[in-house]
Copies of this chain bind each other. A is one copy, B any other.
Amino acid sequence: MTTGPGSEGLPASGRFREECGIVGIWDHPEAARLAYLGLYALQHRGQEAAGIVSARPDRGGLVAQVGVGHVADVFDRERLDALPGRAAVGHTRYSTAGESGRRNIQPIRIECKFGHIAVCHNGNLVNAHILRHELVDRGSIFRTTSDTEVLVHLFAKSGQTDELEAVAEAVRQAQGAFSLLFLTEDALYAVRDPRGFRPLLLGRVGDGYVVCSETCALDLVDGTYVREIAPGELLRIDRDGVRSIQVFEEAPVSQCIFEHVYFSRPDSRVFGRHVYRTRIRLGRALAQHTGIDADVVVPVPDSGLIAALGYHQESGIPLELGLIRNHYVGRTFIEPRQSIRNFGVRVKLNPVPSILRGRRVILIDDSIVRGTTSRKLVQLARNAGAAEVHFRVSSPPTTGPCYYGIDTPLRSELIASSQSVEDIRAYIGADSLAYLPLEALMDSVGEEQDRYCAACFSGNYPLAVPEAETARTLFAKDRR
């Protein structure tokens, strides 16, 4: 059973794009191979590029291997063998199009007064633009358009002489969402921003340590879970073990609720919670709040699968897999010139007419972004003979973009930013449409719900983003 992001292969029109996955290994004889496996398990967090940097044991320095594509394509035995040492960090990401893509691949590896250092970053700084301008004015040069390079400069320019202090000074200047790994020749640093937007956790493997975004990375390397890295915590892992430092003033916690709704793998724990269970709860709550009489519950694979199972469990309406996903979706796909109706969706999904024909169908998905894909799904179901199509969404309407590390479309592209639920229903052509209420979503994460950010649903942004919208366009000229 596969769940998690459904956008492998074809351009994910109408989907959120992914963010990033990071992994660090400390003190293991096959550090780079474990980082590789960890990235592989985190592949759903970014399928466009991957990189690993390892610390060379005897000769000093850091070695990098990076490339465009899936983790399993970027790395082969030879490239992994070229990454010696007992420590490594890895990164998997989505790619901006064009020639800047290769330059932006992480980890970023540089040399500065503290020696060689490699940095991996999951998140988005809200003051990157300001920091960048200040740095440039002081003579810094930038080779990429990423926020991460800003952090690297802050570290290199630090007035501190102690490496740990310099890391602390650098991250203290950053505002926004960040889970970060720094690898030097002597230590692995891991840090989460004070609000803890993005996940990061600590585990053990053999006698060494793992730091990674989700527990699924830990599972694949046969590691054991230790604990979440706390919001605002900075860890230094070196030959003397793990040291924890609080480098930020305390702040309210704002963990990303969307990790539970869509991003994380269902077999993972994030922010200490089981994703699978949370999604079942979302589906059950959806049945409670938006219940309707129907013949069959059909998930949109794979994003709506577990919520649909919860809906079925709560409602008692039979679950059927009425939309079948094609596993072999390639990166590009050639359509006939004389185009085929709903081609983009058909290439990925095929309805099972014997299930849908004459039935009142409840289609379940995790969210609606632009509405275009949902519209095609409703048409597919109707063409397959569905008597009624009721669309249910296991989260509230997505009314605003994310400024904290998720690459969402512009606000104007989010259908729920400007359209009423009834308008959206009419657009996608469903007989009815209902979303999970916000309170029900927050209930799904239990008592800790005030530790979550749901700004994309509520508009209640926990961190001011005065320049966020424009920051993106500063280097837009550098993108093709």
Contact = CB atoms under 8 A, between A and B. Distances in A.
B302 A1 contact: yes
A138 to B, nearest CB: 8
Contacts of A460: none
A204 B64 CA distance: 42
B352 A141 contact: no
Nearest to A136: B113
A30 B477 contact: no
Given A76-B332, A112-B140, A302-B1, A313 B318 contact: yes
Task: Please indicate which of the listed interface residues A47, A63, A336, A346 has the most CB atoms of chain B within 10 Å of its own CB.
Answer: A336
A466 interface: no
Interface in A1-25: 1-4, 8
Interface string A170-182: 0000000000000
A276 B323 CA distance: 11
Interface in A54-77: 56, 59-61, 63-65, 70-73, 75-77
Chain A interface size band reads 35 or more
Given A76-B334, A220-B346, A309-B320, A328 B8 contact: yes
B309 A321 contact: yes
A259 to B, nearest CB: 16
A327 interface: yes
Interface string A75-107: 111001010000000000000001100000000
A72 B333 contact: yes
Interface string A345-370: 01100111011000000000000000
Interface in A298-324: 299, 301-302, 305-306, 309, 313, 318-321, 323-324
A375 interface: no
A468 to B, nearest CB: 20
B321 A305 contact: yes
B2 A354 contact: no
Interface of A: 1-4, 8, 29-30, 33-34, 36-37, 40-41, 43-44, 47, 56, 59-61, 63-65, 70-73, 75-77, 80, 82, 98-99, 108-113, 116, 136-137, 139-143, 152-153, 156-158, 216, 219-222, 265-267, 274, 276-277, 299, 301-302, 305-306, 309, 313, 318-321, 323-338, 340-341, 346-347, 350-352, 354-355, 475, 477-478, 480
Given A219-B350, A267-B324, 11 more contacts: A1-B299, A1-B321, A3-B324, A4-B324, A70-B328, A76-B332, A82-B480, A112-B141, A140-B156, A216-B350, A274-B352
24 contacts: A3-B321, A8-B328, A29-B338, A30-B337, A33-B334, A40-B333, A41-B326, A43-B327, A73-B330, A82-B99, A111-B142, A111-B475, A113-B137, A140-B156, A220-B340, A220-B347, A221-B340, A222-B340, A265-B350, A266-B321, A266-B324, A267-B351, A267-B352, A276-B352
